[in-house]
Amino acid sequence: MKGKTILITGSTDGIGRQTALELARRGGRIILHGRSKERVAAAATEIEAETGTAVDYVTGDFASLAQVRDMAADVLKKTDGLHVLINNAGTFSAERRMTEDCFELTWQVNHLAPYLLTCLLLERLKNSTPARVVNVASMTHAYARLDYENLQGEKEYKGSRAYSLAKLGNVMATFYLAEKLANCGVTVNCLHPGVVDTKLLRASYNIAGVSPEIGARTSIYLACSPEVEGVTGKYFDECKETAPSPLSLDVEERQRFMDVTNRMLGL
């Protein structure tokens, strides 16, 4: 990964931090992301001390699309090239909460914000080929059902349902962008990290899981393995391509879903 610039969202702890640590060990130029400047700066200092590699960082709260846009602008200022974007940041909310942009929190943070960030950084990725986008999704995307009148819990809200739907959004966006970027030198893939012991898991399901070291393996694999050079529009689990939900493979439904997403973001 020497000479490669890698942006990892949600990288102050858990899977994101472990991913950043390992890619820094491999010589990548890492850009961390977090909501809190203090926390992300501390994480950068710790990773630098552990790896001997300089680590940069940006800040931005994905509950604010204005901050996502500002963060993207900051990344563009800091980089001449961007070779890997790992969309790892995520949240879980047991109660329905709305953002300043008038979107349901889980929907915005887990789906709209990473998709918007990717779109804002696409030209830089295209100018840095071969480049990779890695979206951290979840096996729970397979539990999602589409009701366009209840995408944001307008009629009924349940935290696990909102999370699954947003993770379906990650998978849908992956396949949509992979098709749009075919033959551009930018690959887009997504993954299930496993049931990982993170703050998000404990908050959402009140259970423990495997270590972040194990949970980060597939993100790291998709970011740097030569085995997936040129592979795009796929879903991975335990570093192996696997079948996503039938719904995510429905081309017409995916187009409708992404049309709705693009309208929400004004894209």
Residue 194: predicted pLDDT: 79
For the chain, where are the E strands, in sequence order? 5-8, 29-34, 55-59, 84-87, 131-136, 186-192, 235-237, 240-242
Q: Determine contact, residues 237/139, Cβ cutoff 8 Å.
A: yes
The answer, yes or no, to whether residue 243 has pLDDT greater than 90, is yes
Q: Of 162, 7, 125, 127, whose CA–CA distance to 71 is shortest?
A: 7
Give the CATH number, domain containing residue 236.
Answer: 3.40.50.720
DSSP letter string over 71-111? Answer: HHHHHHHH-S---EEEE------SS--B-TTSSBHHHIIII
pLDDT band for position 212 (50/70/90)?
confident
**Whole domain around residue 216: which residue ranges?**
5-265
The pTM of the full predicted model, rounded to 2 decimals, is 0.94
Residue 1: predicted pLDDT: 83
The answer, yes or no, to whether residue 200 has pLDDT greater than 70, is no
Q: Which of 115, 163, 176, 235 is catalytic?
A: 163
Q: Is 221 a known active-site residue?
A: no
C-alpha separations of 67 from 35, 114, 181 in Å:
10, 12, 26
How many domains does the structure of the chain reveal?
1
How many C-beta atoms lie closer than 10 Å to residue 255's C-beta?
A: 13
The answer, yes or no, to whether residue 18 has pLDDT greater than 80, is yes
The dihedrals phi and psi of 23, each to the nearest 5 degrees, come to -70, -30
Residues belonging to the chain: 267
